[in-house]
Every structure is written in C-alpha cells, then in structure tokens.
C-alpha cells in the first residue's frame, strides 16, 4: 500500500525554482506520466476565467459615474456588431460604428482636439471595468496640465481597436488613444491594452499604431503605463507620426512637460 501511494505522488520538476519569476505554467511536476490533478484543475479554472472574460459586459453605470468626475462630456457608442456572438464572428463590424453612434458624433458641435480617448470592451470588458478609471485618473489631469485639448470621452460596446480610427476622425482629433480589454490569457484574463494612433481615420493599418500591453497591477502597473502613454502622446504629436516609426524611449528620455 505504501509503495502504491509513493508511485502516485507528485514528482517535482527540476526547474521548479523558475516559477518564482513567472506566472506561466512551467515546471508543473508530474505523477507518473501525467500532469498532477491539482494543475489540471487549475488549468480548467483559468480557462473558465478566460472564457468568462470574453463574454463579460461593460459596467456602463459604473463607468459613466467614473467618467463624470472629469470635466469632459462623454459619448455612449456601439459598433455595428449588435451582439457578442456577432462580434466574435464579424471582426470587421467591431471596427465600425453603427449608424446611430456615428450620427451622434456628427451632430455634435465639438471643435477639433488633440486627443480622443476611447474605452472599448474588446475581448475582456472586465479589464475596462477594473483598470480604465485608475489609468484615466492619472492620465487626464496630466494631459490637461500640459494644455492638450481632449475630445469628449467615448465608451464603445462590442468594439475592436480600429473603431478608434473612425471615432478620432469624426471628433477631428489629432490622435486617438484606445483603452481596450485584451485577448484573455490563462494567467491574465483581465489585462488592458492602450493603442495610440496619430491622424486616425478609417482604413488605418496596424503598423501605424503603438501598443502598451498588459496594463494591470500584476503586469504593467498603472503609474508606469500612464508614464509610457504620456510619453508616446507627447512624441507622437511632436513628430506627427505613430506606429513603427515611434519608439518608446521612456527609460532614456525625460518628459518635456
């Protein structure tokens, strides 16, 4: 009996010490030729969290209440994908505003701005629910202090990154900053990304964007993320470009404001 228990116990992996440096599933050990049951169950739980993130919803009341703390109006917008199932099957519709949303912006009397900030659910609305406001709480006052003109804020449902091109263009903004829920990972289902595009317009391609990824307390902390966003905004507007030609040199270059 004792021999049987010993044969089914978990054998540690020789690389176990490396787990201290990453949340990735490495050095899981083994039970005979199989992965330990505990690790199998944790994998299934992580997969369930990732799936839940994809089907999560923006907490509109909470987000509106948070955005009302800034001295800026905001729009509630929707992409052409009217449901989550359609959104997942038609990525192109997630990149376009529906007619009512586009008309809402076109009917506004807003003047040209430097920056249009857009919150989009992407593939993890929970990421926006948790991380958008802490980032904006730091970012917007800093941009206003630097005298940048900020367009009305936008919250967009069933949206992908490129929807910021149409919104930024309609708002006559020099650049767009899209905060969006990233594709969930098995160790990070609630990460937020920030995409910056100079001169946004429909048809803009991805090489013209800069991306700051994995924004969350366990990944890229808010303060550091805001520092990078501020730097890229500053340099994008100064150089009048974004994307592969704009580098993140925040570690070498101090802010100009």
Nearest to 181 by CA among 195, 202, 199: 195
Question: Residues annotated in the binding site, as ranges?
Answer: 161, 182, 211
**Bridging pattern class, strands 74-78 and 153-157:** parallel
Per-residue pLDDT of the chain in tens (257 residues, 90 and over written 9) = 444 444 568 888 888 888 888 888 888 888 888 889 999 999 999 999 999 999 999 999 999 999 999 999 999 999 999 999 999 999 999 999 999 999 999 998 878 999 999 999 999 999 999 999 999 999 999 999 999 999 999 999 999 999 999 999 999 999 999 999 999 988 889 999 999 999 999 999 999 999 999 999 999 999 999 999 999 999 999 999 999 999 988 875 555 44
Q: What are phi and psi of 167, to 5 degrees?
A: -65, -50
Strand partners, 177: 117, 196
pLDDT value, residue 253: 57
- Cα of first residue to Cα of last residue in the chain, in angstroms, is 72
DSSP readout, 165-200?
Answer: HHHHHHTTEEEEEEEEEPPPPSS-TT-EEEEEEES-
CA-wise closest residue to 127 among 196, 216, 61: 216
The pLDDT of residue 26: 86
Annotated binding site for adenosylcob(III)alamin: 161, 182, 211
CA distances from 188 to 5, 24, 164, 191 (A): 35, 10, 24, 6
Determine which helix (DSSP H) or strand (DSSP E) holds 134, and give its type and residue range.
helix 125-145
Q: Per the structure block, which two tokens stand in for 163?
A: 């929807």
Distance, in Å, from the CA atom of 213 to the CA atom of 225, rounded to the nearest integer, reads 9
| Residue 195: CB atoms within 10 Å | 24
CATH class (in words) of the domain with range 55-239: alpha beta
Pair 182, 219: CB distance under 8 Å: no
| 191 C-beta neighbours (distance < 10 Å), count | 25
Q: Which helix (H) or strand (E) holds 253?
A: none
Among all chains, which residue has been given the structure tokens 């160790």? 187
pLDDT at 157: 98
Instruction: Report how far residue 252's alpha carbon sits from residue 257's, in angstroms, rounded to the nearest whole number.
Output: 15
Strand-pair category, 173-181 with 113-120: parallel
pLDDT of residue 3: 47
Instruction: Tell me what pLDDT residue 5 has.
Output: 46
- How is the chain split into domains, by residue range? 55-239
């Amino acid at each position: 009996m004792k021999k049987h228990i010993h044969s089914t116990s978990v054998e540690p992996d020789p690389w176990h010490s490396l787990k201290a440096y990453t949340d990735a599933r490495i050095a899981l050990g083994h039970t005979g030729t199989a992965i330990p049951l505990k690790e199998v169950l944790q994998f299934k739980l992580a997969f369930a969290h990732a799936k839940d993130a994809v089907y999560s919803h923006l907490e509109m009341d909470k987000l509106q209440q948070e955005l009302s703390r800034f001295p800026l109006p905001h729009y509630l917008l929707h992409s052409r994908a009217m449901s989550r199932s359609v959104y997942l099957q038609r990525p192109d519709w997630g990149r376009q505003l529906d007619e009512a949303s586009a008309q809402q912006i076109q009917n506004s009397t807003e003047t040209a701005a430097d920056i249009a900030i857009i919150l989009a659910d992407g593939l993890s609305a929970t990421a926006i629910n948790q991380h958008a406001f802490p980032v904006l709480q730091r970012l917007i006052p800093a941009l206003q202090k630097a005298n940048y003109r900020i367009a009305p804020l936008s919250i967009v449902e069933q949206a992908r990154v490129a929807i910021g091109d149409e919104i930024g263009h309609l708002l006559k903004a020099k650049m767009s900053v899209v905060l969006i829920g990233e594709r969930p990972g098995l160790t990070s289902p609630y990460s937020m990304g920030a995409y910056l595009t100079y001169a946004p317009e429909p048809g803009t391609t991805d090489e013209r964007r800069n991306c700051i990824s994995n924004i969350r307390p366990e990944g890229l902390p808010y303060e550091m993320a805001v520092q990078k966003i501020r730097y890229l905004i500053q340099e994008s507007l100064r150089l009048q470009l974004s994307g592969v030609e704009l580098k993140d040199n925040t570690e070498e270059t101090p802010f100009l404001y």
